[in-house]
Amino acid sequence: MGISALVCTGMLGTGCAKEQRGAAAKGTPSPSGPVSGRPAPPSPAARPLPGLGPRTRSEIPAATRQVLLVRGTTTDGNRARAELYQREPGGGWRRAAGPWPAHNGLRGWTRDHWAGDLRTPIGVFTLSDAGGRLPDPDTRLPYDESPDFSIDGTGHVGEPLEGSFDYVVAVDYNRVRGTTPLDKERPLGEDRGGGVWIHVDHGGPTNACVSLARLHMRALLRALDPAARPVVVMGPAAALAR
């Protein structure tokens, strides 16, 4: 079943508006001001990542320019929505891809992940390495093509797992960055789990991974850019709003 049977059974607009100069004609609202009583939309430089509170925002590295935002519905839920955001030159964020449906751990989410708890870690994690059973779909991340990404058997609702690891992105939780997702070293210890990936969805919840449809996994792999210091921000909506 790949590297961690206990943990991983299944885991890019708007341009800047031109500034209007000079006074607007009498009785005509400025394009940058309220129209029909509605407030003007925020400028691109002011657009924050949606749904994130101060604690979560503070965990995103200052150098990061790509964020995969994965939000679940409830702490114990195993369905989520994923969106890829890109930081604009002015500092604001725009959605670059998604929303995409996703699955997460069978029992939901946790900030205290342990091997076998069937929950997906909550937090902000870097995305450094990718791989899969199939050839590199033209990603800029380091990519390890290997038959060792093969998996068989069935998932939590009896769905076949075959092909789930055709494409994966390693979530940098309890792993060594810069290594293949297949690497088994666990800096926090084996009991804290590992092998948490973003991978091809198999139609059911995972053990701790996040899964996306095959088409969306290919799009994600092609979009992620190591120069943008990508991270995944993941967890239930209420936890990420803190």
* pLDDT one digit per residue (tens) for the chain, 242 residues: 443 343 444 333 333 333 333 333 334 333 333 344 555 555 555 699 999 999 999 999 999 999 999 999 999 999 999 999 999 998 899 999 999 999 999 999 999 999 999 999 999 999 999 999 999 999 999 999 999 999 999 999 999 999 999 999 999 999 999 999 999 999 999 999 999 999 999 999 999 999 999 999 999 999 999 999 999 999 999 999 99
Question: Is residue 17 included in any domain, yes or no?
Answer: no
The number of domains in the chain is 1
Identify the burial level of 28 via C-beta atoms within 10 angstroms of its C-beta, where 0-12 means exposed, 13-18 middle and 19 or more buried.
exposed
Domain that holds residue 209: 54-240
Question: Is residue 13 included in any domain, yes or no?
Answer: no
Question: Is residue 157 included in any domain, yes or no?
Answer: yes
Question: Is residue 69 included in any domain, yes or no?
Answer: yes
Question: Is residue 1 included in any domain, yes or no?
Answer: no
Q: Is 90 left (phi over 0), alpha (psi -120 to 50) or beta?
A: alpha
Question: Is residue 31 included in any domain, yes or no?
Answer: no
Question: Is residue 29 included in any domain, yes or no?
Answer: no
Which positions ≥6 away from 21 have C-beta within 8 Å? Answer: none
Question: Residue 207: its pLDDT value, please?
Answer: 97
Question: Is residue 169 included in any domain, yes or no?
Answer: yes
* pTM value > 0.95: no
